[in-house]
């Protein structure tokens, strides 16, 4: 059974269509990333799923309950960590967790132990009894996350969990999210960071202008682009006329007598016949080899080169990112979409 199932979800704010008949499913125990530029509709979708807003049409079920017909049941089963930091700065971490324990009806006798568990999970034990106004941004975010976990939710909604955090804190937050995998928690994560989606998510749904344009695992989305690229540059002699005297005397090796372009062409002819190569392209002395997304491609290219007696001066392996995926499905670059959406929605609201 799907932990989240969304069908035909539509929401308008005046003239702006924030969500336009969105369908998607999140399987139990999965981390699904909702990836899109600001204003794409991520937060609107989450606000409907956590029962803060009502859809204009369509249906959504979370943890087996309908968000419109049975919101209380949904609220009991989900955790929600909003984009903004929502810690009460007068309260200590322990007091804050205690408040959330009451909001989620954790029996009082179970509370101290549960709070200690969470404090140690996010590493806030040392500051647990200091008011949170003295916390760093990262500590507040960790406390926010802990509050969302207090009742062991079946489904956790994280809206931009690492927004505005510095690199080490982002990593720590990511580690906490990853630690939820395998504990039976389903996670829906909104993000506009490609690397975050890539690192954390089992599947990514790309959302743009209120529509889901693609949904698959990050690897499969990338594979759809034509796979990874190995780029090699043979170690040949410089072309005639540009040869430096000193270089010539230093390179006594017979194999290096041929110019790099020639060696690249020779290598291309060899590689083109191999099954794991999807295609090749030459760019001066450099040879781009398009391979199926597979880490074994690189050693095999190197073996082929050494078998042909061609030594290489440079090797690069590159993997197209979700940036390229976004470009492919929406026809525009992510950064550009980000800027356009801000203009489009500035009259309305993404919240």
Partner 1 sequence: MADVYREASVREAARLPADALPRFMQETRGQLVRWLIHLRREPFNLLFALVQPVILLVFFGGALQRFGAPISPGGNYRAFILPGILALTVFGNSMAGGIPVLFDKESGFLARLITAPVTRSSILVSRFLAINLLSVLQCLIMLTLAALFFGVRVASGAAGVAALLGIGLLLGFGVTIISLILAFSLTGHGDFFALLGIITLPLSFLSSAFVPLDVMPGWMRWLAVLNPMTYAIDSMRALVLGGSELWSGGLLLRCCAALTAFDAAMLILGTSLLRRRL
The residue count for binding partner 1 (CB under 8 A) is: 37
Nearest to 56 by CA among 42, 44, 71, 43: 44
Residue 78: which H helix or E strand, with range? strand 78-81
Residue 327 CA to residue 303 CA, distance in Å, equals 34
* Residue of 54, 103, 164, 313 interacting with partner 1 (CB under 8 A): 103
Check binding of 78 to partner 1 (CB under 8 A): yes
Q: What angle do CA 168, 172, 177 make, to 5 degrees?
A: 145
The residue range among 99-107, 122-130, 245-253, 328-336 that interacts with partner 1, by the rule CB under 8 A, is 99-107
Check binding of 88 to partner 1 (CB under 8 A): yes
Nearest to 139 by CA among 148, 152, 127, 156: 127
The residue range among 34-42, 86-94, 214-222, 335-343 that interacts with partner 1, by the rule CB under 8 A, is 86-94
* Residue of 12, 59, 70, 104 interacting with partner 1 (CB under 8 A): 104
The residue range among 28-36, 96-104, 165-173, 225-233 that interacts with partner 1, by the rule CB under 8 A, is 96-104
* Residue of 11, 42, 94, 114 interacting with partner 1 (CB under 8 A): 114
The residue range among 147-155, 195-203, 294-302, 306-314 that interacts with partner 1, by the rule CB under 8 A, is 147-155
Residue 143 CA to residue 168 CA, distance in Å, equals 16
Check binding of 347 to partner 1 (CB under 8 A): no
| 1-13: b (≥16 Cβ within 10 Å) or e | ebbbbbeebbbbb
* Residue of 6, 93, 106, 264 interacting with partner 1 (CB under 8 A): 106
Comparing CB distances to partner 1, the nearer of 17 and 96 is 96
Q: What are phi and psi of 21, to 5 degrees?
A: 45, 65
Nearest to 304 by CA among 277, 327, 281: 277
Q: How far apart are CB 86 and partner 1 at their closest, in Å?
A: 5
Specify the 3-state DSSP secondary structure of 30.
coil
Residues that bind partner 1 (CB under 8 A): 50-52, 72, 75-76, 78, 80, 82-84, 86, 88, 90-91, 95, 98-110, 114, 131, 147, 150-154
């Amino acid at each position: 059974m799907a932990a989240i199932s969304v069908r035909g979800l539509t929401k308008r704010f005046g003239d702006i269509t924030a969500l336009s008949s969105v369908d998607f499913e999140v399987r139990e125990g999965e981390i699904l990333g909702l990836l899109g530029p600001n204003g794409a509709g991520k937060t609107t979708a989450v606000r409907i799923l956590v029962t803060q807003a009502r859809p204009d049409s369509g249906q959504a079920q979370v943890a087996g309950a309908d968000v419109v017909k049975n919101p209380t049941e949904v609220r009991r089963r989900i955790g929600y960590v909003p984009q903004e930091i929502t810690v009460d700065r007068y309260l200590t971490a322990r007091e804050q967790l205690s408040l959330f324990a009451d909001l989620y009806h954790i029996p009082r006798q179970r509370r101290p132990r549960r709070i200690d568990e969470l404090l140690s999970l996010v590493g806030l034990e040392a500051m647990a009894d200091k008011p949170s106004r003295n916390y760093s941004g990262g500590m507040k975010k960790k406390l926010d996350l802990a509050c969302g976990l207090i009742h062991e939710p079946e489904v956790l909604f994280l809206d931009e969990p690492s927004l505005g955090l510095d690199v080490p804190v982002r990593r720590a937050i990511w580690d906490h999210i990853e630690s939820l995998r395998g504990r039976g928690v389903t996670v829906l994560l909104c993000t506009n960071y490609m690397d975050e989606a890539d690192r954390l998510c089992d599947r990514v749904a790309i959302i743009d202008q209120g529509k889901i344009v693609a949904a698959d695992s990050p690897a499969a989305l990338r594979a759809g682009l034509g796979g990874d690229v190995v780029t090699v540059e043979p170690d040949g002699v410089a072309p005639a006329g540009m040869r430096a005297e000193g270089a010539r005397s230093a390179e006594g090796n017979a194999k290096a007598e041929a110019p790099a372009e020639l060696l690249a062409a020779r290598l291309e002819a060899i590689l083109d016949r191999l099954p794991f190569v999807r295609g090749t392209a030459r760019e001066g002395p450099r040879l781009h080899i398009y391979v199926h997304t597979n880490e074994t491609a690189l050693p095999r290219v190197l073996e082929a080169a050494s078998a042909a007696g061609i030594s290489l001066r440079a090797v690069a392996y590159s993997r197209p990112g979700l940036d390229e995926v976004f470009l492919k499905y929406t026809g525009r670059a992510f950064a550009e979409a980000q800027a356009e959406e801000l203009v489009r929605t500035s009259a309305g609201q993404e919240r």
